[in-house]
């Protein structure tokens, strides 16, 4: 299984996944074997928000995307491609994956999804 984690700084789970362009990609063998296999640093035109779905996208190759937050449109769009989107309040990528695998996902912090101030999602 391949799991992507939105991470604008390549260290922590970040939100606003529709605008995010940086992702850590892990290959999960089992709960005890999680390997970082790629760091996606996508150009602006590959941010899902505004992306033309008639083309392939690197995120469409993962099974799960873990993020600090995503809108319903983003979740539905990826679900149509077979990608499950999971929102979490966990900031450590590997801890977020382990929580997901254990079925214990830390609830994301409530925030105004329409406000992108301070989210780091445009960097």
Where in the chain are the domains? 2-102
Q: pLDDT value at position 32? A: 82
SS3 59: helix
Query: Does residue 120 register a pLDDT over 60?
Result: no
More confident residue, 109 or 49: 49
Name residue 22's beta-bridge partners: 41
Confidence of residue 118 (pLDDT cuts 50, 70, 90): very low
pTM, 2 dp:
0.86
Q: Using the Cα atoms of residue 103, residue 107, residue 112 and residue 117 in order, give the sign of their dihedral.
A: negative
**3-class SS string, 85-123:** EEECCCCCHHHHHHHHHHCCCCCCCCCCCCCCCCCCCCC
Per-residue pLDDT, 54: 85
| The CATH number fitting domain 2-102, selected from 1.20.1560.10, 3.30.420.130, 3.90.79.10, 3.40.605.10 | 3.30.420.130
CA dist., res. 98 & res. 78, Å (int):
21
Q: Residue 2 in contact with residue 62, Cβ under 8 Å?
A: yes
**24-75 pLDDT per residue, tens:** 999 999 878 999 999 999 999 999 988 988 889 999 999 999 999 999 989 9
Question: pLDDT > 90: what percent of the chain?
Answer: 75
């Amino acid at each position: 299984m391949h799991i992507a984690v939105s991470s604008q700084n390549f260290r922590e789970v970040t939100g606003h996944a529709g605008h995010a362009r940086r992702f850590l990609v892990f290959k999960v063998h089992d709960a005890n074997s999680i390997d970082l296999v790629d760091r996606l640093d996508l150009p602006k035109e590959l941010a899902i928000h505004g992306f033309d779905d008639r083309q392939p996208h690197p995120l469409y190759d993962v099974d799960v995307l873990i993020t600090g937050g995503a809108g319903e449109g983003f979740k539905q769009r990826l679900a149509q491609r077979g990608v499950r989107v999971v929102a979490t309040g966990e900031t450590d990528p590997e801890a977020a994956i382990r929580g997901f695998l254990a079925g214990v996902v830390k609830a994301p912090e409530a925030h105004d999804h329409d406000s992108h101030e301070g989210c780091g999602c445009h960097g």
